Structure 1
Amino acid sequence: MTTATDTERPAVPRDWLLGLGMVTVGVAAAASSYAGLQNLAIRTGWVPWLSWLLPLTVDAYAMTATRVWLAKSTRSQAARDWAKRNAIGAITVSVGGNAVDHATAAHVFAITWPLVVAVSAIPPIVLGLLVHLAHLRTQPAAVTEQHDTEAQPEQEAAAPPPEQDKDRQPDVKPKPRKQPARKPAARTVRSFPDLLAEARQATAGWADAELTAEKIRDAAHCSMANARALREALKSERAAGRPLHAIEDAPDTAGLDESEGEAA
């Protein structure tokens, strides 16, 4: 429970020199900015007796947006954010307008049609922004904030007591076991004599013209390099008159001839 003494704020003593300095700086800055924007309006084709409306539009909107941004009476956070962006934007436009006016006066660059279009578009754009700002300022505070404050006591009441929390054990999910990687099957490496024996058996009935590397590779299921080597080996054996098939040892005919001679 708060008392009247808690809400009362101590009175701030007035500083007349500070107030006088703020008024002086404000008037000087407003007058110089006003003159620069008015000259820019005249340079871009505005009627002289209406040129004063351009600085009034920009500077007055900057002041209005800043007031909505910083005022405590602004209830909607969306309106406060919108006013903040518009205040910074209006101040930027005022600074840019004064810079362009001084640059054209110093003959840094000439007035072109894009600049004329940009300056003439300022009043309608500011009017649309002002209407939107006025609409946002009338909106109440966000409803979600009220719901959050109301739901917080309910969540605290629904929370279980600490004793029950200690008895509970957290649900621990078992980690999936990693399956061991399967090793690729070891390939059987055949030696060249084994390949030659298989090639002899497969090409026993082939003619010499059929002994090509492609056919030997398909028959022996080997690489092209081994197939070429097998082809050369088979051709060499055929040229030397060696048998293509593996034959068993022939019977010893010498002993038979000797026995037949003795019998005669």
Structure 2
Amino acid sequence: MNRTGRILLVGALVVVVGMAFRVSWNALRDIANAIGADHTAATLYPFVVDGLMALALVATLVLVGRDRTFALRVLGTYTAASLVLNYVHGLVPALHGATVDWGRLADWDPANWALVLLATSLPVGSIYFGSDLVAKVLHHRPAPIPSTDTNAEESTETMMNRSTADLPESTPEPITATVVRLPDPVDFLKPTAPLKPVRALAPIEPPKPRTVPAESSRARRATYRVPEAAKAPRTRRTPEQLLTEARTATAGWPDAQITAEGIRREVRTSPVNARMLRDTLLAERAA
């Protein structure tokens, strides 16, 4: 939309808002007279309610985030309050001629108390919410808008390249070569003085290695397998021999001490043989 269209749109909005304020101003003035306001206070009362609505609308357009949500809530709250008061003004014809009793907006007492509380709290709320909205608008810092126009960057780069290429080239000064005289080459093969004979050095004998026996504090383990012939032969005892050894070992034991585990430890046999010996010994003692 061009500039002229925007100006016309804003002008039409101002006219509509002004007419709506004039219609609401009559009802809010009569409500203010009914709750005990004098002539001057009743005349300014509509500006307090509807004026804060306009301030909240402007703050909504400026603020963002949670501040914008707060401004929307203030705008909605005061719009609803103004609607309720205008509705009460239409329902009570006595308010039009200011013949209603002072502090009486409804016949039902709870409704009357609620309406009086609403009408008297709106000016105090305008002071609080209006100050808060103005402070938020004054402290608001709009976020910088990133530039999407690349033509400016390209033009700047082009101008820099052009200015660099159009610089006049300075003529370099002639370089004067400095002549440095090198020393004459020396012939190392031609002796310049008679050489003295070098005395032959006696050959140096290398030191004799010393043999030191290695000492070890750890006992060496056998890393080979012991042959079967070197192992001690294992003799296998017969049941009679085991029984004889068990009788000898348990001769002085009471019956309660004769167990398979005790016999196995004394005779050094398997658990199966120990149980067999225990049963045999107990049977012999019982007989």
TM-score by length of 2: 0.39
Structure (1 or 2) with the greater helix fraction: 1
| TM-score w.r.t. length of structure 1 | 0.42
